[in-house]
A and B are shown apart, each in its own frame.
Chain A
């Protein structure tokens, strides 16, 4: 076997904010943001379900907007504000969506849950009173194979009610 483990990889220094913390890491230029978050920063909340932007399990907020982190090259994150599922609770205080997902049994296996929470948060940040149809279309980029979506949609509706109540 070869003992030569050096390869001519181009690595870029990336400096950005992740869940409110200033972070710096080195990433292969072709590495996805998802792999950088998981492997360099050990933030394994975002998952790879497909690697092609079709399942949404890797969804993170980039400058306030949802992105499939599997489709983003890590160096693109330079200077960006990234929020992952690990960053949506406020300290020990769960985000209302996290709480309604738990109370509403909106997760079974839980592997799609991080992506759903991030997408749903982005939806409610922009549209505090979405219809069921708006919720379903806003979450259409996130696949869930366990729940049939029913309890997810209901939990988002319930969180929206709570958030509107808190805003009043």
Chain B
């Protein structure tokens, strides 16, 4: 279902063509990161730290170097030591330990050999002497007085202090008079919450092949959300010139934020440089879970004040994120994610605290789900206390254009109210709650980002077009690019070939993250097409023998008075004689990414003898601005929701006291399977973003923000117990029921 504000009639935008890269993917031809082999290629393997925190006293690689098949060994000593303050210093240390291993699974050395088995055997033969250091595993441990340092390198960002600290960021936000508001409140609810480490869980493990030639140039084939970032990070970590490195984007098998940074490429590059051979490294699932970016665990305390008629007058709270072994902006970014309600009085503090666990990475609306879980739970409890409909309460307080965001500055036009109304009016919400079940509501949003993108549009001799961008396609964005180009040029979407090109074949483009590809790269495509249309009109004027001003572009053809319309193919056929190839490149730094709000509704049943929660029905309404390809907008909404349901119910990292992850497999790290979920009904709300030519808002992030509170609110209404700890796994739910 789609709820749309008034907008122009589009011919292509909003249709659902088969995606251009789809055929290769259903016949098994699409080449993902691990699917390519270079001639003469070696295989890389790692030695990883078995300790949560340990000084590396000595590494002896002698035995490994003479083992069968071994061609190269690298350790931290082979990497340049980047100065403190270089933003990629932590990236480099995270992918190869230097003075100390900072978490179990931290890479200490790497080997390239003829076969993977040989490389693994040799890596295991490397001897490392460690001095064990105290391990910091939780926010409480990290922030305790006199706590040992998880990473002595760390300084608190934006603090002005140069003292080592376990705090990555401390971000206060304040407005109004919170104390007075609580004093005057009719209702106050205060709760503490915690959430576990969770992983993005993309099905494709990280992989790359790197071939460094005798001229020192590196040819990189990698799976990433941003191959330009792979290039810049690899160059920074190795202190190489960027121009030495070419990165070709493989098809990417899921990222969700986890493939916005690198783990392998510089190691493979050094192994290749040393051995003179291409080196392929493919992570195992175990390695992915142990040593690539999970989302931070969190702990929070939230207190909200309200009047009897449901006005939320103040929020006061603290949210801490366990960010892992190096500085991370999770706490800082989390601070920005509290901006759904007007709250005239607000006093919040957000903290990122270091732990001896893997460096956390972005995961879909990074830091927002943890905050939304806490805040949306307390708001629901206020609705219960006031005996008010949870949607009515939210409608009363929802931000609209001009209301302040958490960081200051007014919201642009946003669609929160429209999403609340969409759920309120939905068949799901209006239906009676099934016998034995209960219903929950939750909301969330993400600001989204713009950033830099480039696009080249080539018109071919026969009137077809090639749209070349630098945005890896992680969820169908090629189809969106082609749809926008079809709309602009007026040709059939399947006469357009969208291509994601390597770093040497298209202009610089930032990472596919923050729901920016269809928004920002789409804008670059539109700009290029618009410039091409101007050129087409000029060429048509030449061909038709009319003045340049006399030509209009209508539905894929040049139209001039008293002339037959000249279709695009008629112009491209005469390109040579009218000035040469028709090609335009557009680049931009896009501003004005519009926030996307979502409202979720679910029905659950709780087995009160086992604590198992079953999700019976789920509906999501989300503001897409304009859905370029509605199927993939729905897909983003459904996928984010499913990940959120996993986060809510069963996903968690289980660590022992030394920081060893005990459940590093898809057997025991329990992402939802098909039989765990119902259909996920979608309502696309379209409140166009005024800053995009078609009104696009990014849609990828927001879907994961509301589910945890949505389910917790339903469970609370089903059982009378407020679940405040994620995941709401059966043992925890049963224990909570026992305390009832």
Contact = CB atoms under 8 A, between A and B. Distances in A.
Contacts of A39: 37
Given A49-B204, A151-B631, A1 B475 contact: no
Interface string B449-481: 000000000000000000000000011100000
Interface string B21-45: 1110111111110110100000000
B203 interface: yes
Interface in B60-111: 65-72
B322 interface: no
Contacts, number: 204
Contacts of A102: 18-19, 22-23, 26
B264 to A, nearest CB: 16
B144 interface: no
Q: Which of A51, A105, A113 has the most CB of B within 10 A?
A: A105
Interface stretch (B308-316, B397-405, B665-673): B665-673
B18 A108 contact: no
Given A105-B16, A136-B674, A48 B643 contact: no
A76 B175 CA distance: 69
A47 B253 contact: yes
Looking at chain B, what size class is its interface with the partner chain? 35 or more
A18 to B, nearest CB: 12
A23 interface: no
A128 B35 CA distance: 33
Contacts of A22: none
B203 A55 contact: yes
Nearest to B669: A54
Nearest to B199: A145
Contacts of B544: none
Interface string A136-168: 110111111111111111100000000000000
A94 B26 CA distance: 9
Q: Which of A28, A51, A110, A133 has the most CB of B within 10 A?
A: A110
Contacts of B673: 139-141, 143
A124 B641 CA distance: 28
A143 B70 contact: no
B22 A108 contact: no
A140 B667 CA distance: 12
A114 B28 contact: yes
A145 B202 contact: yes
Interface string B250-275: 01111110000000000000000001
Contact of B639 (A137, A145, A153, A154): A145
Interface stretch (B482-490, B560-568, B577-585, B675-683): B675-683
B642 interface: yes
B475 A149 contact: no
A80 interface: no
* Closest CB pairs A-B (n = 6): A45-B28, A111-B253, A148-B642, A110-B25, A105-B631, A148-B638
A1 B72 CA distance: 7
B376 interface: no
A109 B253 contact: yes
A111 B254 contact: yes
A135 B27 contact: no
Q: Which of A52, A54, A108, A154 has the most CB of B within 10 A?
A: A108
Interface of B: 16, 18-19, 21-23, 25-32, 34-35, 37, 65-72, 114-115, 117-118, 200-205, 251-256, 275, 282, 284-285, 474-476, 631-632, 634-636, 638-643, 665-667, 671-675, 677, 679-680
B68 A52 contact: no
B708 to A, nearest CB: 15
A54 B666 contact: yes
A89 B27 contact: yes
Contact of B29 (A45, A52, A103, A104): A45
Given A105-B635, A151-B631, A85 B28 contact: yes
Contacts of A85: 26-28
Contact of A111 (B72, B204, B632, B643): B204
A51 B69 CA distance: 24
22 contacts: A30-B117, A39-B37, A52-B665, A57-B203, A102-B22, A105-B476, A108-B475, A108-B476, A108-B639, A109-B204, A109-B255, A132-B679, A133-B675, A135-B674, A136-B677, A137-B675, A139-B673, A140-B674, A145-B203, A145-B671, A149-B672, A151-B638
Given A54-B666, A140-B674, A44 B72 contact: no
A2 interface: yes
A112 interface: yes
B674 A44 contact: no
Q: Which of B117, B202, B203, B475 has the most CB of A within 10 A?
A: B203
A150 B680 contact: yes
A10 interface: no
A95 B632 CA distance: 22
Contact of B666 (A6, A47, A52): A52
Nearest to B31: A44
